């Protein structure tokens, strides 16, 4: 059994309420927090090895340490609750089932960095989770965990929810900042990084919901307890959103370093209907695909998945069975990225659309062998050339889907139809 840190309260009735959270020790870390100098808190979090759970996996403590200390500008925290990556649905669980754990994490981060205003940027479609979070914020204010002079310590902190408007690109940290400032959600060139010039031109920490939710455990139990879990470089646990052809899709917490397929099978009951495993997409729609053999022999941590040619990303694991079509998967993913490209970089604007059109053609049985090569030729032109990595996010999967499942692409072209599509699915396809 994997230890549960983030999801420990998920099964408790009314876990979203302050009384239930407090009864299980919630907000207990604050007593210790306010006795520690802020720099010591940053060191503590650095030592824990906690890495960002929004996708990039960057050290949380390290990021906080980049925020200038000798500035007379206000500093801000932006909590990234935009959660738009297809297949990712774990932050929603936290907001809905245990919002106080995240709020406690927000207090820890803000105290450590010297922040007095935190914005929670919530995905526009997350109306219910946002309501839950607002109710929790209201409870925290009423009990003196937020607001002026928190728990008589002299530390002030306001937390404000900002609803997004349904754009995936606003999950990218600088797109989020632009959107929060009331502008079009288009990413900024980096550097400067938000830690130095972020929202309203001020130093800003951007952290994912789950990253912040790990902080109460780290403060309560000590960084050593957290660092002991997982592997040397991938410490602790992570929430994985598992979807696709599995018996029980859902959000499961796993300790880093376990075998990837064992974890999926143990958590979800394995491939739906006892079918054969075809492939696993381990880190969201932007990650490269792993074959069944690779998924069985790879370990679930940042380094092992990277060594297998993919990434942990936001922890969105998608499983394909022998009856699922890889070409269709590419068509769906490419259509998503073409739709969500913000359009400011030509390579992304045109490239995502180009790949999506070709993938659709092949899936519909109207593609040629040359079309497959066209996708492969386009991928390198999209890598590392744009303001953010949205273009890379289609290039990486597209290249890997074709390279690892070339025969499926060829079969679509030769047979002039999708071999996985039944008659009724054929008429339902877009
Ligand atoms: C296109 C794109 C979309 C992203 N969407 C999200 C998102 O929905 N949620 C999130 O936490 N991070 C997202 N990120 C990553 C953020 O830019 C940023 O790295 C993250 O919020 C930092 O928090 P962390 O260090 O706690 O992971 C996205 C990145 C890109 C390039």
- Is residue 5 situated within a structural domain? no
Nearest to 281 by CA among 305, 302, 297: 305
Beta-carbon contacts of 238 under 8 Å, excluding residues fewer than 6 positions away, are 53, 210, 253, 254, 256, 312, 315
Residue whose CA is at the smallest distance from ligand 1 atom 30: 172
- Per-residue pLDDT band at 94 (split at 50, 70, 90): very high
- For ligand 1, is residue 58 a contact (CB within 6 Å)? yes
Residue-wise pLDDT for 123-139, tens only, equals 999 999 999 999 999 99
pTM of the complete model: 0.96
Two tokens at 352? 């995502």
Q: Are residues 286 and 251 in the same domain?
A: yes
Residue-wise pLDDT for 399-419, tens only, equals 999 999 999 999 999 999 999
Residue-wise pLDDT for 353-378, tens only, equals 999 999 999 999 999 999 999 999 99
- Is residue 9 situated within a structural domain? no
Residue-wise pLDDT for 60-82, tens only, equals 999 999 999 999 999 999 999 99
Q: Are residues 118 and 191 in the same domain?
A: yes
Beta-carbon contacts of 265 under 8 Å, excluding residues fewer than 6 positions away, are none
Element (H, E) at 293: helix 292-297
- Is residue 7 situated within a structural domain? no
How many structural domains does the chain have? Answer: 3
Write down the pLDDT at residue 428: 45
Q: Are residues 76 and 200 in the same domain?
A: yes
Q: In the chain, what percentage of residues exceed pLDDT 90? A: 97
- Is residue 46 situated within a structural domain? yes
Residue whose CA is at the smallest distance from ligand 1 atom 7: 171
What gap in Å lies between CA 360 and CA 338, rounded to an integer?
12
429 C-alpha vs ligand 1 centroid, how far in Å? 31
Residue whose CA is at the smallest distance from ligand 1 atom 2: 172
307 C-alpha vs ligand 1 centroid, how far in Å? 22
* 299-300 and 277-281 strand pairing: unpaired
Nearest to 174 by CA among 189, 159, 196: 189
Average pLDDT over residues 239-257: 98
- Is residue 4 situated within a structural domain? no
> Are the C-beta atoms of residues 393 and 314 closer than 8 Å to each other?
no
- Is residue 214 situated within a structural domain? yes
227, 262, 292 - which closes a domain? 227
In the chain the first and final C-alpha atoms are separated, in Å, by 42
Q: Are residues 30 and 140 in the same domain?
A: yes
Please give the DSSP secondary-structure letter assigned to residue 271: B
313 C-alpha vs ligand 1 centroid, how far in Å? 9
196, 227, 258 - which closes a domain? 227
Write down the pLDDT at residue 425: 55
**Which residue of 83, 121, 172, 338 sits with most ligand 1 atoms within 8 Å of its CB, as the best mutation to test the pocket?**
172
- For ligand 1, is residue 172 a contact (CB within 6 Å)? yes
- Is residue 253 situated within a structural domain? yes
- For ligand 1, is residue 194 a contact (CB within 6 Å)? no
Residue whose CA is at the smallest distance from ligand 1 atom 14: 172
178, 200, 227 - which closes a domain? 227
Residue-wise pLDDT for 281-326, tens only, equals 999 999 999 999 999 999 999 999 999 999 999 999 999 999 999 9
> Are the C-beta atoms of residues 288 and 326 closer than 8 Å to each other?
no
- For ligand 1, is residue 52 a contact (CB within 6 Å)? yes
- Closest atom of ligand 1 to 340 CA is 1
Q: Are residues 82 and 204 in the same domain?
A: yes
Cis peptide before 192 (omega within 30 of 0): yes
- For ligand 1, is residue 215 a contact (CB within 6 Å)? no
Q: Are residues 355 and 251 in the same domain?
A: no
Residue whose CA is at the smallest distance from ligand 1 atom 28: 172
- For ligand 1, is residue 340 a contact (CB within 6 Å)? no
Averaged pLDDT of the chain: 96
88 C-alpha vs ligand 1 centroid, how far in Å? 12
- For ligand 1, is residue 56 a contact (CB within 6 Å)? yes
Q: Are residues 266 and 335 in the same domain?
A: no
Q: Are residues 211 and 347 in the same domain?
A: no
Res. 59: pLDDT tops 70? yes
- For ligand 1, is residue 169 a contact (CB within 6 Å)? yes
Q: Are residues 421 and 332 in the same domain?
A: yes
- Closest atom of ligand 1 to 168 CA is 3
- For ligand 1, is residue 84 a contact (CB within 6 Å)? yes
Q: Are residues 51 and 160 in the same domain?
A: yes
Q: Which of 110-114, 291-295, 425-429 has the lowest mean pLDDT?
A: 425-429
174 C-alpha vs ligand 1 centroid, how far in Å? 9
Average pLDDT over residues 13-41: 97
105 C-alpha vs ligand 1 centroid, how far in Å? 17
Q: In the chain, what percentage of residues exceed pLDDT 70? A: 98
Residue-wise pLDDT for 264-285, tens only, equals 999 999 999 999 999 999 999 9
Residue-wise pLDDT for 7-21, tens only, equals 999 999 999 999 999
Q: Are residues 69 and 103 in the same domain?
A: yes
Beta-carbon contacts of 262 under 8 Å, excluding residues fewer than 6 positions away, are none
Residue 407 CB neighbours (<10 A): 10
User: Which CATH number covers residue 262?
Assistant: 3.10.20.600
- Closest atom of ligand 1 to 173 CA is 17
**Which residue of 93, 173, 187, 236 sits with most ligand 1 atoms within 8 Å of its CB, as the best mutation to test the pocket?**
173
> Are the C-beta atoms of residues 143 and 107 closer than 8 Å to each other?
no
408 C-alpha vs ligand 1 centroid, how far in Å? 32
Write down the pLDDT at residue 423: 52
- Is residue 103 situated within a structural domain? yes
Write down the pLDDT at residue 429: 42
Beta-carbon contacts of 37 under 8 Å, excluding residues fewer than 6 positions away, are none
335 C-alpha vs ligand 1 centroid, how far in Å? 20
**Dihedral, 409, 413, 415, 421 alpha carbons, nearest 10:** 50
Residue whose CA is at the smallest distance from ligand 1 atom 23: 207
User: Which CATH number covers residue 135?
Assistant: 3.40.50.11540
Q: Are residues 304 and 362 in the same domain?
A: no
User: Which CATH number covers residue 360?
Assistant: 1.20.1440.230
Please give the DSSP secondary-structure letter assigned to residue 126: -
Print the domain residue range for 146. 18-227
- For ligand 1, is residue 164 a contact (CB within 6 Å)? no
CA 214 to chain centre: 14
């Amino acid at each position: 059994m994997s230890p549960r840190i983030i999801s420990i309260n998920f099964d408790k009735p009314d876990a979203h309420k302050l009384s239930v959270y407090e009864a299980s020790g919630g907000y207990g870390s604050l007593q210790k927090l306010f006795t520690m100098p802020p720099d010591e808190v940053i060191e503590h979090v650095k030592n824990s090895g906690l890495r960002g759970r929004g996708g990039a996996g960057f050290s949380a403590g390290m990021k906080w340490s980049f925020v200038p200390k000798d500035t007379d500008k206000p500093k801000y925290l932006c909590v990234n609750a935009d959660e738009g990556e297809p297949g990712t649905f774990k932050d929603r669980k936290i907001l809905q089932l245990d919002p106080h754990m995240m709020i406690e994490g927000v207090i820890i981060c803000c105290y450590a960095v010297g922040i007095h205003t935190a914005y929670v940027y919530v995905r526009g479609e997350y109306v219910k989770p946002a309501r839950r979070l607002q109710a929790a914020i209201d409870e925290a204010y009423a009990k003196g965990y937020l607001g002026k002079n928190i728990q008589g310590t002299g530390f002030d902190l306001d937390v404000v929810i900002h609803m997004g408007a349904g754009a995936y690109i606003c999950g990218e940290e600088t797109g989020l900042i632009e959107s929060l400032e009331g502008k079009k959600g288009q990413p900024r060139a980096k550097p400067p990084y938000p830690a130095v010039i972020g929202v309203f031109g001020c130093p800003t920490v951007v952290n994912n919901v789950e990253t912040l939710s790990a902080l109460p455990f780290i403060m309560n139990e000590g960084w050593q307890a957290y660092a002991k879990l997982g592997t040397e470089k991938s410490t602790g646990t992570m929430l994985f959103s598992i979807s696709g052809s599995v018996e029980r899709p859902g959000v499961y917490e796993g300790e880093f370093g376990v075998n990837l397929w064992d974890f999926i099978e143990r958590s979800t009951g394995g491939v739906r209907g006892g079918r054969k495993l075809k492939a696993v997409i381990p880190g969201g729609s932007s990650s490269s695909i792993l074959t069944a053999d690779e998924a069985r022999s790879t370990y679930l941590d940042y380094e092992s998945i990277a060594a297998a040619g993919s990434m942990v990303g936001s922890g969105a694991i998608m499983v394909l069975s022998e009856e699922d079509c890889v070409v269709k998967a590419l068509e769906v993913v490419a259509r998503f990225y073409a739709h969500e490209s913000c359009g400011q970089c030509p390579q992304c604007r045109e490239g995502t659309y180009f790949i999506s059109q070709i993938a659709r053609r092949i899936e519909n049985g109207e593609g040629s062998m040359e079309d497959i090569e066209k996708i492969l030729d386009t991928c390198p032109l999209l890598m590392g050339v744009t303001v953010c990595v949205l273009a890379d996010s289609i290039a990486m999967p597209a290249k890997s889907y074709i390279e690892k499942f070339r025969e499926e692409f060829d079969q679509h072209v030769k047979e002039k139809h999708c071999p996985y599509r039944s008659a009724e699915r054929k008429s339902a396809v877009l």
